[in-house]
Structure 1
């Protein structure tokens, strides 16, 4: 039985073992999948120990995505654009391949939600690793314009500089007045019950407000968007399942069905 894992710190909350076990049952793939708590400064050693014990590949969550990027010997286009890796596996030559499936996961979920991205204007709040992982895939999906807004504008500018003129940066207090169809919260503000502070005028044309975090109840950002009249909101649970499915396909060469696993996770959160 081939071994896979997810590395993080903390990691006890991770849904990845459940998700991949469900994918394995669907596809009749004989794998095991576990959560591994790695020391903050010891990811590379933990990875090597896992591989020495027969590990075939892994997912990587915070705070190890940049360390995984450095560890990879071959990097996908998505990983290079993001400067971060959330999936590690081996190619036929035995090299460590690093990929980033976060953006693919987001697109899977937006497709599930019936979102039309062609020529859309997108506002992304936050300029961390989560944002770096989704800008490239959104451009590939055909969006017309992306504005990255962040409390520290320089961080947003550093991300925008990696892409074409469709991507620009702004401070949270100086967001360009555009008819944004989609607003994505890529900050971790919801972890503390907060929301990013920006003017509600930018929600006037919003067709979908999306928070990359998820939980048993809506985040403060999504509640605020609903209060401002946004009709459609969604959290990042579907993105989580989507990025896991893309990783599973890299591991095993089979594309699992996302819908039943997403339904099971929603039911678990509702308990």
Structure 2
């Protein structure tokens, strides 16, 4: 495959990633030839593996989104607001960085699931790269308040400060959860559930009109979504729709065309035709 058509997703763990299937489907849909692979990388070897990949563009997942931000010579406004990058675009011998996570989440919640985020009270669990990616877009969607809760309160404080809206964004430690009351939307952006363990969450955080979304998908989202259903949430969604939507935005940045996302999401969700047909 020519060098200009190589793309990749970096992270750890990465073997579960659906991104190669998604971009293969987008490529077939749009008639664009490309090679998209997953590459395992951590903090210590990410920069070296990115340089050796020969990729013209890359997606970045846990735990490397803040590392990717630091590597860029130029970043978009939404990446700067987040302090995290999930999409890299080759720029000569360097990289430009963007963040499509937040737009992907909001599009999935509002357009696919029909949620109205305006004037909603939102709980964001976690303060790492995933949380940083979605916080600005949630605020732009018109939510009334965002509570950022993290086991390390200093990380929550840093994210809240970065948003620059002290009247709408509030940082708390995990031990404050029982006193926070009920939320309209609960977003799990922690990586804790990737090991199958869900940190204790009070049932009082959710009500009969609450919605819950885990930014992970598959097995990693099972524990949080089970809690959300037990707590009475009307909607309990994993991050598969967000993944497809943010991938479409990355594809647009690389290739200048935004593919259709509904058939790809349906196929991944077992509700449509196979993503990649045999040649």
Q: Secondary structure at the match of 1:161?
A: helix
- CA 1:201/1:10 → structure 2, altered by over 3 Å: closer, same or farther? closer
- CA 1:67/1:229 → structure 2, altered by over 3 Å: closer, same or farther? closer
Matches within 5 A, 1:1-271: 2-38=5-41, 40-51=43-54, 55-91=55-91, 96-111=95-110, 112-163=112-163, 164-165=165-166, 166-175=168-177, 177-204=180-207, 206-215=209-218, 219-267=222-270
The 2-side partners of 1:65 and 1:194 are apart by: 23
Deviation at 1:81, TM superposition (A): 2.0
Deviation at 1:230, TM superposition (A): 1.6
Unaligned runs of 5+ in 1: none
Q: Deviations over 1:13-51 (max 9, x none)?
A: 211111001001111112221122346412222222223
Q: Secondary structure at the match of 2:105?
A: helix
Unaligned runs of 5+ in 2: 272-279
- Contact map agreement 2:124 2:146 (CA 8 A) in 1: yes
Number of aligned positions between the proteins = 264
- Contact map agreement 1:179 1:205 (CA 8 A) in 2: no
The normalised TM-score by structure 2 is 0.87
After TM superposition, the structure 1 stretch with the greater mean CA deviation from structure 2, 186-195 or 66-75, is: 186-195
Deviation at 1:218, TM superposition (A): 5.8
- RMSD (Å) for aligned C-alpha atoms: 2.1
- CA 1:154/1:216 → structure 2, altered by over 3 Å: closer, same or farther? closer
Q: Deviations over 1:118-159 (max 9, x none)?
A: 111101112222111111011111111101112232221111
Deviation at 1:63, TM superposition (A): 2.9
- Contact map agreement 2:196 2:220 (CA 8 A) in 1: no
Q: Secondary structure at the match of 1:4?
A: strand
The 2-side partners of 1:114 and 1:59 are apart by: 27
Q: What is aligned with 2:277?
A: none
Deviation at 1:12, TM superposition (A): 1.8
- Contact map agreement 2:150 2:172 (CA 8 A) in 1: yes
Q: Deviations over 1:66-121 (max 9, x none)?
A: 22212111011222122221111135x77521111111111121121101011111
- Contact map agreement 1:90 1:97 (CA 8 A) in 2: yes
The 1-side partners of 2:113 and 2:240 are apart by: 12
Q: Secondary structure at the match of 1:29?
A: coil
- Contact map agreement 1:69 1:83 (CA 8 A) in 2: yes
